[in-house]
C-alpha cells in the first residue's frame, strides 16, 4: 500500500472541494454566490470502534493522532498534547454534533485528499463534510444536507476559530453533477443551475499561498458595514449591501468616502453579476457568463483590491488563449487560484499553454487542472 493509499475498511466516504464561479466577498454582505462542487475530493476509510476514542491518520501528511470524544473541549490528544491543526476539523465536527445531540461514535479513520490545501478550494470544508457524513452513517441518525453544512460551518467558526461563511460547506454538501449551485446567503434558498453545454472548468493554482491577513479581511468587512450605515440615511430599509441596487448605489456613491465606496461598489455590482449569470447560464449563454467572470475579476482587482500580480497574470494570459470565455480569481484572494471557463475541445491545450506561459512570465510553476462540476458526499458501507 502506498503512503496515501487508503486501507480496506467498513466505510468509505468521499466529499468534494468546491470552486466559486461568481459572487466573491459577498457572503458576509448577505449576497448571492455561485459555487460548484468539483471532482477533487477528500476520501475517508473508517472502521467503527466500541469506545469513545477517535484515531486519525492523515495519510498525505504522514501524521496520526487520537483523542477522546469525552474531552473534546480540551482540544488535546490522548497524551495531553494540543491537537495538531489538521485534526481540529474532524474534532470540531464531533464536538458540534455532540452539542446538538447527535450520536458520535469512536472510529479508526484514515483520510487522504487531492484538494490542494491553502489554494482556496475549501479542503477544510471537504474534510468537515466527509466526517459529518461518516458519523451520520455510524450513528444511524438522519438530517438534511443543509443542516450538515451548517453544523460543519459551526465547527469551523466555534471550534477551529475560523470565521468562514456557509458557502464552502454548503457547496461540498449539496454538489450536483453538471451544475453550479445558486445560494442566497441570507435566506439559504438555493437551486442547481446547469453549467453551459460544452464547457470545462479549469482551475489554475498560482502556488502563491494565501496570507489573508485578518486585518485586510476585517478592514474590508468594516468598510462594507460603514457603507450600509451611511447609505441607510437615504435608504433606511436596507440591512446589508445586498439590498442596494446598482442604480441606487451610483446615485448615492458620492456620499461615501473613497475606500468605502470602492469596497461597496464591488459588493453591489457582484451581487448583480450573480443574478445576471443565472439568466445567462439557464439560457446556455456561455459567452455572456464568461464576460461576467472577467468583469468580476477586474472588480476584485481594482475595487476590492484582493488580487495579487500572479493571479492577474493568470487571468490576463487566459484571456489570450483559444477557447477561454471567462477567468477570475476564486476564493478570498491574496493568492490561491483562478477559475476559467473553457471550451471542452480546447481545454487540454489551454491547460498546457496557461501553465507554460505563467511560468515564463512569473518564474513560478503553477498547477493547472481540468475539473467538472460534481456530486456532493457519498458513503459506501461494506
Annotated catalytic residues are 168
**Pair 169, 149: CB distance under 8 Å:** yes
User: Which residues neighbour 107 within 8 Å (Cβ) at sequence distance 6 or greater?
Assistant: 46, 47, 48, 49, 54, 55, 134, 135, 138
Nearest to 33 by CA among 286, 235, 296: 296
CA 100 – CA 111 distance, rounded (Å): 25
CA distances from 126 to 42, 112, 123, 366 (A): 6, 11, 5, 23
Sheet holding 367-371, edge to edge: 324-330, 337-343, 199-205, 367-371
Alpha helices in the chain (DSSP H): 88-99, 123-139, 145-154, 167-174, 214-231, 246-252, 258-282, 286-302, 309-320, 347-362
Torsion angle defined by CA atoms of residues 306, 307, 308 and 311, in that order, rounded to the nearest 10 degrees: 150
CA 103 – CA 379 distance, rounded (Å): 18
Look at the chain and count its residues. 382
Q: What are phi and psi of 57, to 5 degrees?
A: -125, 115
CA distances from 262 to 32, 273, 325, 340 (A): 19, 16, 26, 25
* The three grid cell numbers given for residue 17, joined into one nine-digit string: 472541494
CA 337 – CA 193 distance, rounded (Å): 22
Task: Count the alpha carbons within 13 Å of 331 in the hemisphere toward its beta carbon.
Answer: 28
**Pair 188, 145: CB distance under 8 Å:** no
Biggest CA pair distance of the chain: 66
Nearest to 128 by CA among 101, 162, 103: 162
Give Cα 344 to chain centroid, integer Å: 23
Amino acid at each position: 500500500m502506498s503512503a496515501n493509499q487508503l486501507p480496506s475498511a467498513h466505510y468509505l466516504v468521499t466529499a468534494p472541494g468546491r470552486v466559486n464561479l461568481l459572487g466573491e466577498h459577498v457572503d458576509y454582505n448577505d449576497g448571492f454566490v455561485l459555487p460548484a462542487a468539483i471532482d477533487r475530493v477528500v476520501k475517508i476509510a473508517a472502521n467503527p470502534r466500541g469506545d469513545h476514542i477517535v484515531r486519525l491518520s492523515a495519510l498525505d501528511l504522514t501524521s496520526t493522532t487520537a483523542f477522546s470524544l469525552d474531552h473534546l473541549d480540551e482540544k488535546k490528544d490522548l497524551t495531553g498534547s494540543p491537537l495538531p491543526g489538521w485534526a481540529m476539523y474532524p474534532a470540531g465536527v464531533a464536538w458540534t454534533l455532540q452539542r446538538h445531540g447527535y450520536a458520535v461514535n469512536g472510529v479508526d479513520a484514515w483520510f487522504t485528499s487531492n484538494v490542494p490545501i491553502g489554494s482556496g478550494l475549501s479542503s477544510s470544508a471537504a474534510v468537515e463534510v466527509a466526517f459529518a457524513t461518516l458519523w451520520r452513517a455510524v450513528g444511524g441518525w438522519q438530517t438534511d444536507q443543509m443542516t450538515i453544512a451548517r453544523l460543519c460551518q459551526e465547527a469551523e467558526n466555534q471550534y477551529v476559530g475560523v470565521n468562514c461563511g456557509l458557502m464552502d460547506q454548503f457547496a461540498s454538501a449539496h454538489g450536483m453533477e453538471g451544475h453550479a449551485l445558486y445560494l442566497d446567503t441570507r435566506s439559504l434558498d438555493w437551486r442547481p443551475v446547469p453549467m453551459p453545454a460544452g464547457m470545462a472548468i479549469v482551475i489554475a493554482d498560482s502556488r502563491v499561498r494565501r496570507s489573508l491577513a485578518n486585518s485586510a479581511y476585517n478592514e474590508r468587512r468594516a468598510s462594507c458595514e460603514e457603507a450600509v450605515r451611511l447609505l441607510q440615511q437615504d435608504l433606511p430599509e436596507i440591512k446589508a449591501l445586498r439590498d442596494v441596487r446598482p442604480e441606487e448605489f451610483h446615485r448615492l456613491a458620492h456620499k461615501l468616502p473613497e475606500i468605502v465606496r470602492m469596497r461597496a461598489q464591488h459588493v453591489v455590482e457582484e451581487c448583480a453579476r450573480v443574478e445576471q449569470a443565472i439568466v445567462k447560464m439557464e439560457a446556455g449563454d456561455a459567452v455572456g457568463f464568461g464576460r461576467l467572470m472577467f468583469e468580476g475579476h477586474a472588480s476584485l482587482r481594482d475595487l476590492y483590491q484582493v488580487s495579487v500580480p500572479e493571479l492577474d497574470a493568470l487571468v490576463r494570459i487566459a484571456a489570450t488563449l483559444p477557447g477561454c470565455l471567462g477567468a477570475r480569481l476564486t476564493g478570498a484572494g491574496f493568492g490561491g487560484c483562478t477559475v476559467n471557463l473553457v471550451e471542452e475541445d480546447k481545454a487540454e491545450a489551454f491547460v498546457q499553454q496557461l501553465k507554460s506561459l505563467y511560468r515564463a512570465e512569473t518564474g513560478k510553476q503553477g498547477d493547472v487542472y481540468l475539473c467538472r462540476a460534481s456530486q456532493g458526499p457519498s458513503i459506501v458501507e461494506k
